Amino acid sequence: MMLINSMSKKIIMVLCGGIMALAVSSGLLWAKSLDEVIAGEHRSAENRARDQYRHPKETLEFFGLKEDMTVVELWPGAGGWYMEILAPYLREKGNYYSAVYDLSKTEGYYARANKALANKMAASPDLYDKTIVTELASPEKFDIAPAGTADMIVSFRNFHNWQMNGYEQEVMRAVYTALKPGGIFGITDHRSNKSTGQDGYVKSSDIIAAAQAAGFVLVAESEINANPKDIKDYEDGVWTLPPTLAGNAADHDKMRAIGESDRLTMTFKKP
């Protein structure tokens, strides 16, 4: 039998206390259910306040997310809003790919966003040290993950950007290539059947057509992220609404009362 003296006990207690403190600091406490990650203290109050519009748990469960999946997120943005949930949730049993903007950019929004995201990951290695960074950029950077390896690929409010710049079909083909047979593509975006193509909104039919042209089969649609208060007719497009609040400052309270945009939510499958 191994005897542990009082000094050894103190050392063990200190070590265990340090480990627990690290777990508490990340807000995860070793438990990595989706509920606990979403409620984690690593998420800012500002980000958690948007849960009422983005419905992360309901959306990810609708997509069919599991903790042991290989998941690619397309364009997580400067803040990595969904990365805060996906990376910790998948860290132990799955794999998380973050397909960021063109890394060769040194100026402009894409460069600033990539830098902000990199700083966020570097500041919290206990959450993001296993994140695999790839690129998604036209005209040639579409290798978002090795071909046929992803169980799921997700995109949150990005299709309208690809469509506005004319390379939505290339993105769809890249997603199809990276997914395993039977893999799921989950997507949300600002929805309007009156979209001009330049107002930040998209038509559901346009996404379905682009996905089907790439070989996908539509699995399901959901109203999880619907907002009937969104009239979808603003001088400054969808960016008039929160969180951007473009346009006349006198209208900001009115826009806040509407909330964030009406959003489509869909899943597609690679046969």
**Given this model, what pLDDT does residue 80 score?**
97
Query: Which secondary-structure segment (H or E) carries 24?
Result: helix 6-26
- Alpha carbon 82 to its chain centroid, in Å, reads 4
List, as own/partner pairs, every contact residues 114-123 make where C-beta atoms lie below 8 angstroms and the sequence separation is at least 24, other chains included.
116/78, 116/79, 117/76, 117/77, 117/78, 117/79, 117/80, 117/83, 120/79, 120/80, 120/83, 121/80
Q: Are 224 and 152 in contact (CB under 8 A)?
A: no
Domains of the chain (ranges plus CATH)? Answer: 31-235 (3.40.50.150)
Mind listing the pLDDT tens digit for each residue in 218-264?
A: 999 999 999 999 999 999 999 999 999 999 999 999 999 999 999 99
User: Does position 17 have pLDDT exceeding 70, yes or no?
Assistant: no
Q: Which pTM does this prediction carry? A: 0.89
Range 133-144 average pLDDT: 98
In the chain, DSSP finds a helix count (H) and a strand count (E) of: 12, 7
Q: Scan for tokens 């994140």, then name that residue.
A: 131
Model confidence pLDDT, tens digit, residues 141-179: 999 999 999 999 999 999 999 999 999 999 999 999 999
